[in-house]
Structure 1
């Protein structure tokens, strides 16, 4: 079997690009016959979803590259990660997939992003018809959780497999837990409104006003001047530590020495946040929102808590409960770590991916 793999890899460093890179490494280690074509429209997360002349040139080059490889290398399968619910990235996908599907190559869609089905009713006329030709009736679809099946079901996928992402084991003896009296609430990711950064600031501020030992820790790049100003003000008020972008051991150490992850996302493309899996790897609970695949990751009062979007009061109560009940907090930390070991280890992900590709006919 020959596979043509099209997808994003870092930079920029987002959950989707990191996990596609891990998948490619896994295919290489296991001698899967593939050719990889990188999608490189954006070098920064803030560029995602925008239109520019440079991107149009890259789109044309990618279009030629994909179709050249389909015509002359004759792959059995085309692997492609569809966009989420924003119009511009979906139109880009239509351009890349429409002609490729005329060659009758078998399609594997991997739904790292979510929400594409919600865009379909907004499309009219020719664009809607091209959408149907590009996306409908793929032979195989990979989704990240049971809740993620809604998009491939809508697209009438013939076969749907659930393969959760896996992350590296951050937990190790050389890292040090938070030994101070402070209770550190962590946010990690692109600091943009729909990722929940402004909600994070408000919830931590309310918690800090009740108990000054509760502070927030932010790791990630700001998306716009709005988020940057809000973080700067919170740092000046003394209830937020801001570290900017961190990677590798520096990032791991900051995560491991935090007490709980607060990730109140309602991001348009969010499907199965990698940062929650990384928190579980560290053995820290996660508090997040009832959004896309998050409830498949977090079980209430077992490895964290799920709240409705913008539920400041509920999130605040969950943080205060964990802070004020240290014995129960330690139990939930252990459960978070067990969730990682049972479901989200890199080894389990690699085995599932290899088994999937080897099973294709």
Structure 2
């Protein structure tokens, strides 16, 4: 018996820029589903990381274009289910989402909200009466709310969804190929890695101080940072700090890397550092990327991150804004090779079980079957 597939219009941005939510949307769209056929209206509110969360005039045109395309595709493709990933607790992003969703949700029979960046609902209480009215039209009572972990930022309470599903992020297993093209290590340095946009709340300052502490204890580490700075002022501040501490030779900025260049860096890294305290942080896709490459992670005890890996088994948790704690945990792994390797192996097992691309798409298909 043939299953009649539900027709879902996916409204959202795919790379570039290469942020976690955009990458996951691309992963979703590239899948085949037994219960759903997906159509895509691509948003282009952010041309690069510099544009994210900022006001740009071109975004008004992008907004009107997205509204028109969404309504057009609703009927042209007969897609009666709307899928959207709201911004986190960022006011500009919230207002953009309200302006986009309020006029288009009414045209669809059902709505799926996928909270990659959770916490938009935290802004609701402080809105004025008019803003609250449009917020309710845009966000309240979705047919499905998808969260990445059991930590939902309270969205499941405020938005009053009809159903809630927990679907962790899942990614393609790049390690299967790149593990066979490893290069011999030329020195004894412990290679630390950070991946993601760089700004204050990602714990970049704490990470620099931690490298200084570790090196003063006689541990030979080198930190590679993959991603770009969100602001020129913050980049200037960090580079000045690195120069002041004399760490120029030990901290390397790689910029954005994709494909073979990106995975080659993961392959040659020993410890992954993610000292974030971003309010909207829910999962941290880069943690799954590190785990698939058998890299133990050192990350903050913050929001949903402790639910992604097990402290002491797949990696180590640290307190936020605490370079001393970060240095202690990294030093411990650097000095204990067997434990470091075992944690990395445990992380890969967890990746294969929970965070593979097949697991993600299988769980999304279950969501589509029940919406």
Per mean C-alpha deviation after superposition, the further-off stretch among 147-156 and 205-214 is: 147-156
Give how far 1:102 is off: 2.7
Cα gap change, 1:107 to 1:137, in 2 (>3 Å) = same
8 Å contact kept, 2:294–2:341: no
Does residue 244 of structure 2 align to residue 203 of structure 1? Answer: no
Give how far 1:150 is off: 2.9
Q: Distance in 2 between matches of 1:178 and 1:291?
A: 34
For structure 2, list consecutive stretches of 5 or more residues without a partner in the other structure. 1-5
Q: Distance in 1 between matches of 2:184 and 2:251?
A: 19
Cα gap change, 1:31 to 1:176, in 2 (>3 Å) = farther
Tell me which residue corresponds to 1:103: 107
Does residue 300 of structure 2 align to residue 289 of structure 1? Answer: yes
Does residue 157 of structure 2 align to residue 159 of structure 1? Answer: no
Tell me which residue corresponds to 1:143: 147
8 Å contact kept, 1:3–1:79: yes
Give how far 1:231 is off: 4.7
Q: Distance in 2 between matches of 1:212 and 1:242?
A: 20
Q: Deviations over 1:59-114 (max 9, x none)?
A: 11111222233355542210011111011111111111112233352000111111
Tell me which residue corresponds to 2:310: 299
Q: Distance in 2 between matches of 1:155 and 1:131?
A: 10
Question: Where do 1:63-212 residues align within 5 Å?
Answer: 63-70=67-74, 73-103=77-107, 105-148=109-152, 150-171=154-175, 172-176=179-183, 178=185, 180-212=187-219
Cα gap change, 1:165 to 1:229, in 2 (>3 Å) = same
Task: Look up the SS of the partner of 1:147 in the other structure.
Answer: coil
Over aligned residues, Cα RMSD in angstroms?
A: 1.9
Q: Distance in 1 between matches of 2:189 and 2:238?
A: 19
**Matching residue within 213, 230, 236 for 1:229:** 236
Give how far 1:333 is off: 1.5
Give how far 1:277 is off: 0.4
Give how far 1:183 is off: 0.9
Tell me which residue corresponds to 2:50: 46
For structure 1, list consecutive stretches of 5 or more residues without a partner in the other structure. none
8 Å contact kept, 2:227–2:255: yes
Q: Distance in 1 between matches of 2:98 and 2:262?
A: 37
Q: Distance in 1 between matches of 2:344 and 2:331?
A: 15
8 Å contact kept, 1:143–1:149: no
8 Å contact kept, 2:219–2:331: no
Give the number of equivalent residue pairs.
359
Q: Deviations over 1:7-53 (max 9, x none)?
A: 110111100001100100004x7684232101111111121111122
Task: Look up the SS of the partner of 1:354 in the other structure.
Answer: helix
Give how far 1:145 is off: 0.9
Task: Look up the SS of the partner of 1:148 in the other structure.
Answer: coil
Q: Distance in 2 between matches of 1:118 and 1:215?
A: 39
Q: Deviations over 1:95-151 (max 9, x none)?
A: 111122333520001111111121112211100111112111100111111113731
Question: Where do 1:293-332 residues align within 5 Å?
Answer: 293-332=304-343
Tell me which residue corresponds to 2:370: 360
Q: Distance in 2 between matches of 1:298 and 1:85?
A: 24
Give how far 1:154 is off: 2.3
8 Å contact kept, 2:21–2:116: yes
Tell me which residue corresponds to 1:16: 21
Q: Distance in 2 between matches of 1:128 and 1:218?
A: 40
Per mean C-alpha deviation after superposition, the further-off stretch among 97-106 and 277-286 is: 97-106
8 Å contact kept, 1:66–1:100: yes
**Matching residue within 277, 280, 283 for 1:266:** 277
Does residue 64 of structure 2 align to residue 60 of structure 1? Answer: yes
Tell me which residue corresponds to 1:347: 358
